[in-house]
Structure 1
């Protein structure tokens, strides 16, 4: 039996072993004024955040809240861009805004490198992963992804109403990421549970959040142990053998990176697929055009990513300062709303409309700066294949019950239930 002393039971470091940061009181309930009391965890935000963001952009471009221990929400493209690029004044050691702040000692690595890493560590941690996410590496996964999408549609045969979120969109990135990491594909339901626990539980009591993270890391260390004993050609084995600064990665680094790939690599993509199908189901002229003009899909896909960008990312203010006309305090949250930036009329003509053939589209759905999504090629491939197969196999579909569509709360927004009537 192969043994790697880094990953014996003694070194299974979990979030509860080191997350002793600041815990804040859980505050829930209706928002009194989004400019002074915003909350991305409330149901009205999940249901439709865009009118809220538009209102804030007009009257209060940088909103504030005392919830979560204090935070800020910029809604203009220029402000979001400036903060995303400013790694000197804003730290990435915590990217999920909630009532718990990890300790400053976690910087510059953070709990899920490289997304939680600050310079200069970030550069090398990100560079380790780049080979797995190049266009050529992603292209090798296209055939299997297409075959899997067809199999998912096959399984829907004979049903008049299907849940395109739970029965289609959510399965695709789960299978792709499981294959990349070398995890059992039958563990897909567990992956979805981990995703929802991590991203939709931002306002749970901190102890419950950490308990849920521990369950995720227990699973990851079990998978690591299996790979230590049975190495194979996948991303997990690559991380176990990779070196950074002349040494193999620490266990917490390996497990943290795996958690990033499992969580971010799944929810962002299934949300983009689901939101795109939702839009096409409620906009028949767009659905019909894409069925008739399949060559338009790559351009249309970028527009759907702009208008329904799923990801909002968080930062932490490093030191007290005045920024953008407001007084920010050290450890204040910054909620970087890429969806709000993507609908800024100062940046985009007809910003709140879906223009399928929009030619100039500098959207920020994949983020900006050093933390721009390293999996963007993979996400684009999955979204394109998912839509190509669906439109080919299911050219006519409508919302079965618009009121039955539900959306995820928190920082990654996409349909959790999407009942569609076929034909």
Structure 2
């Protein structure tokens, strides 16, 4: 079967992706975080933790009328309960924005399996497990390590580098591009797709959809090329995969590729950047890890806990009262795993960064059926990135703390991180 016969025109593939409920976004300063929260405001991007801590004590389930209405639980037990409750909360959209896919989008969603509800979710996730198991990830480590060394080689002659833009952000782009069989030179386009999906949610709905169309049009090009020129990569695997005795629907293929491209990049580069930011401003921890490299896996888990990059969204299925608040059908829920990870009811010395913390059952990779499929891959990339950096650049400091910028939205990590090396 040709690409045209199997996948048709891109315009046909997008038809079911643009219908839904759209709400204008209310922007501007927050009047009260308990009743008017917004994860897009500058103070949230710069340092959300004091806000989350204050809410946890004063109003553990905050509310906002922005984005058509939503809720923000900040206690670990509340976040966990929602994450495990697939009966009352739907995953058909995991990015809180001014656009809600229609209820009919469930159980598959736009980007399966993360946008899928049971029972479809189980089968869609199972398709991807072989590519992300530990043995498969281990095979990717040598190339990842070599690429990290090459990036640092490019720093020669420089005293100041951007540890986020010049290092951390390149690593998952290369790894995911290789896994999907995409041209590595398309990396700059991937950055644009990430920003559109995760940071462009304040755009007018029509403009946001137009930008998303660029992502799916690109994926359609890659699919057609892989149909015509099959090779041993994840894209070809998805094209040939079967579910319930038939090939995957074209929108399933492109949606899963979009998930891997977006979720596999920004989350990991954010974790790498946040870890390097902490080490650049904390000489004692940096020096200890250089002297005790065997401590790095333990330190990594603490970095993941305290700087958990990901907040996921859910949609309320039906009107109900939950934890004393009246939720309406299609209200958003922001599952703040970063807030859960700093809940003193769950973690001893929750606000401290202890790189030798031994008991650390954090929620950085999520909870419930949607726990991150790529956690082995993310851990490998983070470990290798830090190992190579600390081996090659054991001494580094922030060049200008005020020049560090953080992404707004549901994936938080440094976007610019100038450090002085050597």
Query: Residues of 2 paired with 1:18 and 1:113: CA distance?
Result: 13
Q: Is residue 256 from structure 1 mapped to residue 242 from structure 2 by the alignment? A: no
- Would you say the 8 A contact 1:19–1:103 is kept in 2? no
Q: Is residue 143 from structure 1 mapped to residue 142 from structure 2 by the alignment? A: yes
| Deviation of 1:381 (Å) | 0.1
Query: Residues of 2 paired with 1:6 and 1:339: CA distance?
Result: 42
Query: Residues of 1 paired with 2:10 and 2:144: CA distance?
Result: 38
Q: Residues 281-323 of structure 1, C-alpha deviation per residue, up to 9 Å, x if partnerless?
A: 0001000000000000000000000000000000000000011
Residue in 2 aligned with 1:305?
304
Residue in 2 aligned with 1:396?
395
Residue in 1 aligned with 2:98?
99
- Would you say the 8 A contact 1:112–1:257 is kept in 2? yes
Q: Residues 378-403 of structure 1, C-alpha deviation per residue, up to 9 Å, x if partnerless?
A: 00000000000000000000000000
Residue in 1 aligned with 2:5?
5
TM value normalised by structure 2: 0.99
TM value normalised by structure 1: 0.98
Task: Please show how residues 234-249 of structure 1 align to structure 2 within 5 Å.
Answer: 234-249=233-248
Residue in 2 aligned with 1:350?
349
| Deviation of 1:65 (Å) | 0.3
Q: Residues 176-215 of structure 1, C-alpha deviation per residue, up to 9 Å, x if partnerless?
A: 0000000000000000110011100112111111011100
| Deviation of 1:8 (Å) | 2.4
Residue in 2 aligned with 1:189?
188
Query: Residues of 1 paired with 2:12 and 2:256: CA distance?
Result: 15
Secondary structure, in 3 states, of the residue corresponding to 2:326?
Answer: strand
- Would you say the 8 A contact 2:340–2:363 is kept in 1? yes
- Would you say the 8 A contact 2:108–2:120 is kept in 1? yes
Query: Residues of 1 paired with 2:263 and 2:3: CA distance?
Result: 30
Task: Please show how residues 115-264 of structure 1 align to structure 2 within 5 Å.
Answer: 115-264=114-263
Residues 385 and 360 from structure 1, CA distance in 2 versus in 1: closer, same or farther, beyond 3 angstroms?
A: same
Residues 290 and 251 from structure 1, CA distance in 2 versus in 1: closer, same or farther, beyond 3 angstroms?
A: same
Task: Please show how residues 29-44 of structure 1 align to structure 2 within 5 Å.
Answer: 29-44=28-43
Residues 10 and 133 from structure 1, CA distance in 2 versus in 1: closer, same or farther, beyond 3 angstroms?
A: closer
| Deviation of 1:12 (Å) | 4.5
Residue in 1 aligned with 2:419?
420
Query: Residues of 2 paired with 1:138 and 1:396: CA distance?
Result: 30
Secondary structure, in 3 states, of the residue corresponding to 1:64?
Answer: strand
- Would you say the 8 A contact 2:17–2:110 is kept in 1? no
Residues 3 and 23 from structure 1, CA distance in 2 versus in 1: closer, same or farther, beyond 3 angstroms?
A: closer
- Would you say the 8 A contact 1:321–1:327 is kept in 2? yes
- Would you say the 8 A contact 2:10–2:220 is kept in 1? no
Residue in 2 aligned with 1:88?
87
| Deviation of 1:18 (Å) | 3.5
Secondary structure, in 3 states, of the residue corresponding to 2:13?
Answer: coil
- Would you say the 8 A contact 1:11–1:251 is kept in 2? no
Q: Residues 8-60 of structure 1, C-alpha deviation per residue, up to 9 Å, x if partnerless?
A: 2267512x653221111221100000000000011111010000000000100
Residue in 1 aligned with 2:295?
296
- Would you say the 8 A contact 1:4–1:228 is kept in 2? no
Residue in 1 aligned with 2:61?
62
- Unaligned ranges ≥5, structure 1: none
Secondary structure, in 3 states, of the residue corresponding to 1:268?
Answer: helix
Task: Please show how residues 321-400 of structure 1 align to structure 2 within 5 Å.
Answer: 321-400=320-399
Secondary structure, in 3 states, of the residue corresponding to 1:395?
Answer: coil
Q: Residues 76-105 of structure 1, C-alpha deviation per residue, up to 9 Å, x if partnerless?
A: 000000000000000000000011111111
Aligned length: 422
| Deviation of 1:127 (Å) | 0.1
Secondary structure, in 3 states, of the residue corresponding to 1:390?
Answer: helix
Secondary structure, in 3 states, of the residue corresponding to 2:186?
Answer: helix
Higher deviation after alignment, 20-29 or 381-390: 20-29
Secondary structure, in 3 states, of the residue corresponding to 2:24?
Answer: coil
- Would you say the 8 A contact 2:10–2:217 is kept in 1? no
Residue in 2 aligned with 1:287?
286
Higher deviation after alignment, 22-31 or 88-97: 22-31
- Would you say the 8 A contact 1:93–1:107 is kept in 2? yes
Query: Residues of 1 paired with 2:303 and 2:29: CA distance?
Result: 30
